[in-house]
Amino acid sequence: MSQFYILPNKTKRVYLSENFDPLNKNDVKEVIAKLNADIPNSFKSAGDWYGLFHEASCAISEAQTILELDLYFDTKNTEAEAKLNDFEENILSPLLIARSDLMDIYMSSPWRNAMHTYDNGRIFTDFKIRRKFTNQKISLLQIEENQHIREYKKFVNAAKTKFDDRILPISVVVGKLNDNDPKIRKSAFFSYWNFVKDNENFYQDNFSALLENRTKQAQSVQAKNYIEVAFSELGRIDYGEKECKELRDSIHRASLPLIEKLAFGQKESLQTNSIKPWDISIYPKLMPEKKPVNGDLEKLVLSMQNITSKIHPSFGKLFHEMKANNLIDISPRANKAAGAFCVTFQESKVPFIFANFSGHFRDAITFVHEFGHALHGYAVSNINNILLRHPGFEFCEVASIGLELLASPFFTAWWNNKSDAKKALAFQLFHMLHFWPFMAMMDEWQHVIYSGKETGDAKQRNKAWQNISKKYRPQVDWSGCEEFEELGWMSRPHIFTSPFYYIDYGIAQVGALQLWKQSRENYQQAVHNYISGLSLGAQCSLQDLFTATGLSFDFSEKMIKDLCSEIEKVIEDVS
């Protein structure tokens, strides 16, 4: 157990032995064997079988979370790295191989509806799609895929480059791309992209290995291509490639005109004649003059307590509980991993927020974002079925991005100057507007690459990205740094670690912006709807989750245009 957090006493296990050790491969094998042997043959045995599956899944998930956090706390902890590698080899690998048999038992059982509370057929539908793309051969390939992903993560976590005569972690240099000083932004841009260029062979080789592996995965289950496999792994049962294209097209048609319109004021504010790649998401006139609470991390935590309490008193109470139990770790330390995320300990039923903040604007917004995930973790903890807690990334991100915007009326807790607080919302919306086209680029590029249309080598991949970049970011002037544009796909870990997990953020923004629009008309009702949607977990479809939150699951050009119009009003009011 790490010294960085305190977990509550776990609920007494009912179906799983209290002595079960999720890190002991023999204990795990014994549970797998029992689930395979004790096939349900009565109402009671059905409940017992699923109860064992649920409790073992929670225990194993929590063990994995603890091991991963230990390595995030100290990336040079070789003991933690060895334990995680051992876990993946001896625990996760056998589970991957066993899952097809367990899905078959569940789907073929006449006692299925007696296993757990009614779920509108969600688990069966999900399993049916996953099972189509699951067999022992693909499981072995996925074990191999995880090895390539580990190599990528190890490289990125250790990556450092020269900046301002100092050797700094890549994550620190990337953070400087949001600096108010254009000279620092430009310097950070060249520092980062020269590093990527110098290490292009690693990125290309690692992705080539992943692409080859993922192509083999598709072939092993006779899928049309890897896109089908990826969508099944992500549990996408409520929308598909057609809807992804609709959203990308709507973003292209509806958001680009506004971005190009705002570019005139943006260039004036930047005092430049063009938008350079290090200025894409920078609009000085919209940026608060000071850092939130002047960059003081202790005050940032205190102000978060204030903000969350104002959104809803119960949110403030949960934030206080997390703080009291050291379930929030945002301060930088030597060897601490970069990034920010929230995880939930599935057996202990509490979330944990991890970050490496330095007190900038993005840190404050990210803090609220991750607490939105934490609220979601609390909200679904009462659902006594691990497969019905996580509704899919699309709605999980509504929880986080939605809370960012629900917090905006209380930004004065971060910026005493009301003008700065007003600017902060406008700048956040400006970021969201610019994120949509980049998200579309990420999604479209992956669809091109994994469709197998002559994109197998490095040059073709780079050319495909460059073409898509010019389509979605025509306002950007790459002169003087043309060699870097084609490498843009290497800038996000999702391409390597979580294929096709990016459009989820774009879908979530469609929901979160609708929630923000609601809140401007009736704040209390919007918060009520937010709570209602989060509490459902994965017990209903994505469309129904949006409906329960008072939102429309709508990717049309009209929807994107309407939301862009709301964004424009706020930006124009400030600029």
Contact assessment for residue 524 and residue 505, using Cβ atoms and an 8 Å cutoff: no
Q: What is the pLDDT of residue 453?
A: 67
* pLDDT at residue 171, rounded to an integer: 85
Distance (Å, rounded) from C-alpha 566 to C-alpha 547? 21
What pLDDT score was predicted for residue 286? 95
At residue 180's C-alpha, the angle toward residues 176 and 181, to 5°, is: 85
478: amino acid identity, one letter? W
* pLDDT value of residue 179: 85
Residue 4 has what pLDDT?
79
pLDDT of residue 237: 92
pLDDT of amino acid 157: 85
Q: CA 558, 561, 567, 572: dihedral to nearest 10 degrees?
A: -130
Closest Cα partner for 448 from 398, 375, 393, 500? 500
Given a contact cutoff of 8 angstroms between Cβ atoms, the answer to whether 315 and 309 are in contact is yes
DSSP class of 40: -
- Please give the average pLDDT of every successive group of 10 residues along the chain, which has 575 residues: 77 95 97 97 97 97 96 92 93 93 97 94 94 93 94 91 92 87 95 97 97 96 96 94 98 97 96 96 93 95 97 98 96 89 97 93 96 98 94 95 98 95 97 97 96 81 96 96 96 96 96 98 98 96 97 98 98 91
- What local confidence, expressed as pLDDT, does residue 1 receive? 39
Give the pLDDT confidence score for residue 339 in this predicted structure. Answer: 86
DSSP-derived letter for residue 386 is: G
pTM here is 0.94
What is residue 455's predicted lDDT score, i.e. its pLDDT? 66
Q: Regarding beta strands 328-329 and 166-169, do their DSSP bridges make them parallel or antiparallel, or are they unpaired?
A: unpaired
Angstrom distance (rounded) from CA 9 to CA 15: 18
User: How many other CB atoms are there within 10 angstroms of residue 486's CB atom?
Assistant: 20
